[in-house]
Amino acid sequence: MIVAAAISFILFFNFKMIPRGYHLAQPATKYDPHGNWVQYIMFDRLSMYIFHNTGVYCDAPIYDKNMSLVEGKGGTLSIIMAGYDSQKDYPEYREFWLNEFNLAAEKCDPNIRADYDNLTALQSAILIKNSQMVDTLLRHGADPSIKTYFKNGSDLHHDALEFARRLKKKATSPDEIAELEKIEALLLAKQGAGNNQRDSVPNAGNTVAAP
């Protein structure tokens, strides 16, 4: 009876819960993504195949600071970045999160605000000060003009460049400052490319009156 129940739960988890991203939700809040109970019941290849090919791939749930599971839209990119950022002391696991990030950047809309924190993927990448992820997201259509609207009620509404510059003013670590300077350069390059594109189009940005 107990064995049958255990097998039923494992099958349920792999075919129902994992396609919704539950296997990412827990390890992203831990320091060792391979040391929790989720890993012991996952059929890795099968579950990851199901997760990568499900219609809700981009909406994985995430645990908040109170360890309550928060579900909603646009969570996958944010939770992957949170998982990557939590692995600073475990570089061998960062490759897993980076591979997941590159896949999610191709599949998911980077301009959706994640329900749990109201930030876009680009804003989250700037927040964790990762220039490599910022570069990837910009190449996949992230919009740096979208303003930040934090769920904590903060009235600080910045576009991506303003947000990066604000974080740089507060940063104290040389590594963080260097990353934010790289991010600033990427955003300025994106801004310049956009201006050049508009300048190459006749009457770009102007309103043409009807005859």
Domain ranges of the chain: 1-113, 118-192
pLDDT of residue 152: 64
pLDDT of residue 79: 80
pLDDT of residue 129: 94
pLDDT of residue 205: 44
Three-state DSSP class for 90?
coil
Residue type, 21: G
pLDDT of residue 175: 94
pLDDT by residue for the chain (211 residues), tens digit each?
788 887 787 777 666 666 566 666 555 554 444 445 555 555 556 666 767 776 677 887 776 666 666 777 778 888 888 878 877 777 777 887 888 899 889 989 999 988 777 889 999 999 999 999 999 999 999 999 999 887 666 667 899 999 999 999 999 999 999 999 999 999 999 988 756 555 554 554 433 333 3
pLDDT of residue 78: 82
Q: CA quadruple 7, 11, 13, 18: dihedral positive or negative?
A: positive
Q: What share of the chain is helix, strand, coil (3-state, %, to 5)?
A: 60, 0, 40
Alpha carbon separation from 96 to 28, 34, 125 (Å, rounded) = 11, 11, 17
pLDDT of residue 47: 62
Q: Which CATH superfamily is domain 118-192 in?
A: Ankyrin repeat-containing domain (1.25.40.20)
pLDDT of residue 117: 78
pLDDT of residue 151: 66
Residue type, 85: D
